[in-house]
Structure 1
Amino acid sequence: MNISITGILLGLGGKCLLDWALVFLQRSHICRGFLGVFAVSLAAADTVLALSVAAVHAQAGGYISLPGLTLTRYHECLLVQIFGQLCSALQWPVALAAALDHLLAVTRSPPPLAGGARPAARVLVTGLLWYLAAAHVFLLSDFIPVMEDVPHNQINQCWVSHSSPVLQVTAALLLALCCGALHAGRGEPLSTELSSKGPIAEESRAHSGRDVARQAARIFLSTWAPFLLLLAVLALLPVGLPAHLALNAGWLCFLNSLLIAAILCAVRPASWTTQGPAAVPPDSFSEWTFQLVSTGEDQT
C-alpha cells in the first residue's frame, strides 16, 4: 500500500505517544516481565524512526547532509520499509518469549537467575531478538525495497507492507485459550484429589477446571472485547494494518493479558493443586482475581 509521508509521520507520532504513555502507566512493574522490557525498547526504536523521518522531511531540499552520509527521502521510505519488516519478523518470537516468561511465573518454576540478574536477562533477550530479526531481514528474507522512480525531492509517498502476523498470533493464542478452557472444563473438581493436604488444599478444592477457565475468560473478555472487535474489523479490511504500526505497546498489553488467560487455563490443574493459586504476571489492564467458592473471598 502507498501512504503519504505526512500520513506516515502522523502514524509514527501517534504510535510513539501511545508507546510512551503505556510505558509510563506500567512504570512501577515495567522490568518485572519480558513484555515490559521489550515495550521500552520498542518505544525507543519508534522514537528514533519518527525523529529521523521528520528531520529529513522537514528540510526544504528533501535531504540532510551528515559527515560521510546524505539522507534523502529515499532513505525515509527505506527506513520505514525496513522497520516494518523488523516488526513483522518480531511478532512470533516476542509472543513465544513472553509465553515462556509467563509460564515460568504462573507455574512458579525455580528461576535460574535471581535478584537483579532477571531484569538483565530480559534486556539481553530483548537485544538478541532485535539482532536476530535484523539478521533475518537483511540476510535470510527476500525483502526488496520498493522505491518510486522519481527525484528524491519529488517523493511524497512511500510504499509500505501490511502486517499479517498480528492476526496470526491473535488467532493462535485465542485457539490456545479455547483449548485450555475446554481441557480445564473437562477436569474433575479438585476436592477429589486434595482431601487432606493442608490449608492450600482446603482453598484449592473448591476450584474446578471449569470455574477457573470461565473466570479467566470472563476477566480477559471484560477488558479486551472491544480490541478483539477492532482486530476482527482489521482482518476484514482489504488494506490491512501497516507493518510499521502493527507492533506497538497497546498490542503488547493485549498480548500480555491473552497469554495470562491462556496459561492460567492450561496449567492450573498442575500448578494450583500443589502450590495454591498462581502468581499472576503483572497486568495493568486486567485484574486477575478469582472467587473461591468455599470461602467467598477473592484470591489472586
Structure 2
Amino acid sequence: MDVVSDSICRIQLALAVKALLNLAVIGLNWQYMHKSFMGYFCISLSFLDLIHTVNFSIIYWLTNFAILGFHITVYHIYLLLQISTLTYSILHWPVFIIAGLDYYWTFPFSKPLSPTRKAVYAASLALVWISAVMYVFFFSDYDSEDSFSPMEHQSFLLIKSQCASLSLVVLAVITCVVIYCRSGLLSLFKSFRGEPYTEGSTCVFFYKLDLDEGYKKPTLTYIAVCFIGTWFPFVYLQLIIMVFRIEVVPFLELNVPWLCFLNSFLIGAVYWHLNQDVAVLKHSEIPDGFCNWTFAPSPDCIKKALPDTTSVTVALIITP
C-alpha cells in the first residue's frame, strides 16, 4: 500500500497545483472570462478540477468509509481518475471547434453579452460535458470494476489524448505563418536592433511594410508578432514536448493556460480571416487577457488615403 499511497499523493499534488493555477489565471483575467464560450468552459473546468481535488483528498484521508450504503475505498480515487482522464482526453478538439465558431459568428466582439447569448453558452457548456461523459461510459474503454490492481488503474493515465494532435496542428500553422510573413518579421526584427522611441513605459518600433504584397499579409504580420511575442515561452514548451515526445497525463493537459493559448490563437485567426469587416479592433472589446490586440488602421485604408504609396512605415507599440 506504500506504493499506492505515494502514487495517490503525487496525483493529489498534481491536481492541487493544476487547480490553483487554473484559479489564478481565471482570477487575473476575470473581466475577459465571461465574454465567450471559451471563458465559460475555462471557469467550468477550474470548478471541476477543484471538486476533483477535494473529493480525492476526502477519500484518501478517510481511507475506508460508507456513504448511502456504498463502501468507498482508495481505489475509487483511480476509478474517478479514469472517468476524468477519459473525459478530458476527448474534449480538446470539440472545445477548439466550438470556440472558433463562436468567435466567427460574434466577430468583431463589440456587443455585450445578452441574456440569450449567456443561456446559449450555458446550454452549450452543459451539452459538451454531458456528451463527453456519456461517450466515456458507453463508447470508451471505461471499466467500473474496482478489483483491479493500482497499476492496472494507473494504465488509464497513459491513454492517448487529443492534445498532441491539436498542438501539432497549431504549431504547424504558426510555422507556416512565420515562413509566409518572414519579410515583415525580418523588417521588424531589424527595427528592434535600432533605437526605439520611448516615452515612459511605452516603446514604439518603426518598420516598413510593402503594400504591394497585399492587404492581408501586413495584418497577418501584426497578428503573428502579437501572438508569438506573447506566447513564445508556451510555443517553445509545446515544441519541446512534441520533439522529445514527453508524455503528459491527459487530466493535466486540459488546463486553463492551455485553453487561453488556444483562445488567443483563435482570436488571431478569426481576425485575420475577417479583417476586411473592420478597420480597427479595440483591445477592450476582445475576450483575451493576454495578447494586446490593438492594430493601426488597415493597409487598405492607408492605400486609399495615399494611392501612390507602395510602402508605408508603421509603428508597433509595446506596453507592459
Fold match by TM threshold 0.5:
yes
Q: 1:108 to 1:23 in 2, by over 3 A?
A: closer
Matched to 2:50, the amino acid is T
Instruction: Give the Cα separation in 1 of the matches to 2:174 and 2:263.
Output: 13
What per-residue deviation string (whole Å, max 9, x for no partner) do you get for residues 168-195 of structure 1?
112223445566788999xxxxxxxxxx
In the other structure, the counterpart of 2:8 is 5
Whole-Å separation in 1 of the counterparts to 2:145 and 2:229: 42
| Structure 2 partner of 1:46 | 49
Instruction: Give the match for residue 167 of structure 1.
Output: 164
1:181, 1:266 within 8 Å by CA — same for their partners in 2? no
For residue 128 of structure 2, what is the aligned residue in structure 1? 129
Do the aligned partners of residues 220 and 163 (structure 1) sit closer, same or farther apart at CA in structure 2, a change above 3 Å counting? Answer: farther
- Determine which of 288, 302, 305 is the counterpart of 1:283: 288
Residues 1:26 and 2:29 are matched in the alignment? yes
Deviation of the 1:29 alpha carbon: 2.8
Counting only pairs closer than 5 Å after superposition, residues 83-122 of structure 1 correspond to structure 2 as 83-106=84-107, 115-122=114-121
Give me the whole-angstrom Cα distance separating, in 2, the residues matched to 1:219 and 1:84: 33
Checking the alignment, whether the CA contact within 8 Å between 1:167 and 1:231 is kept in structure 2 is: no
Contact 1:162-1:239 within 8 A present in 2 as well: no
| Cα distance, 1:35–1:95 mapped onto 2, change above 3 Å | same
**Structure 1: gaps (5+ residues):** 186-204
Q: Give the AA of the match of 1:57.
A: Y
Q: How far apart, in 2, do the equivalents of 1:67 and 1:108 lie?
A: 48
Rounded Cα–Cα distance in structure 1 between residues aligned with 2:108 and 2:31: 23
- Following TM superposition, by how much is the alpha carbon of 1:298 offset from its aligned partner in structure 2, in angstroms? 8.0
1:162 Cα shift? 4.7
5+ residue gaps, structure 2, are 183-210, 303-312
Write the deviation string for residues 238-266 of structure 1: whole angstroms up to 9, x where unpaired.
55111111111111110101111222233
Q: Judging changes above 3 Å, is the alpha-carbon distance between structure 1 residues 16 and 108 closer, same or farther for their aligned structure 2 residues?
A: closer
Q: Which amino acid aligns with 2:99?
A: A
Structure 2 vs 1, CA of residues 177 and 108 (structure 1 numbering), >3 Å: closer, same or farther? farther
Report the counterpart of residue 208 of structure 1 in structure 2: 215
The answer to whether structure 1 residue 37 and structure 2 residue 34 are counterparts is no
Match of 1:223 among 208, 223, 230: 230
Compute the TM-score of the two structures, normalised by the length of structure 1. Answer: 0.77
Amino acid at match of 1:4: S
Counterpart Cα distance in 1 of 2:76 and 2:113: 44
From the superposition, tell whether residues 149 and 80 of structure 1 become closer, same or farther in structure 2 (CA, over 3 Å): closer
The alpha-carbon distance between structure 1 residues 108 and 117, as it changes in their structure 2 partners (threshold 3 A), is: same
Contact 1:84 1:161 (C-alpha < 8 Å) held by counterparts: no
The answer on whether the counterparts of 2:76 and 2:146 sit within 8 Å (CA) in structure 1 is: no
Cα offset, 1:126, TM superposition: 0.6
Kindly provide the CA deviation profile for residues 68-113 of structure 1, in whole angstroms up to 9, marking residues without a partner as x: 222111110011111011001111110001101111233579x9x9
Contact 1:177–1:265 under 8 Å retained in 2: no
The number of residue pairs the alignment matches comes to 268
Give the distance between the partners of 1:108 and 1:238, measured in 2 at CA: 38
Over aligned residues, Cα RMSD in angstroms?
3.4
Q: Percent identity?
A: 27
Task: Give the aligned residue type for 2:274.
Answer: V
Residues 13 and 55 from structure 1, CA distance in 2 versus in 1: closer, same or farther, beyond 3 angstroms? same
Note closer, same or farther for the CA distance 1:47–1:228 as it changes in structure 2 (3 Å cut): same
Match of 1:158 in 2: 154
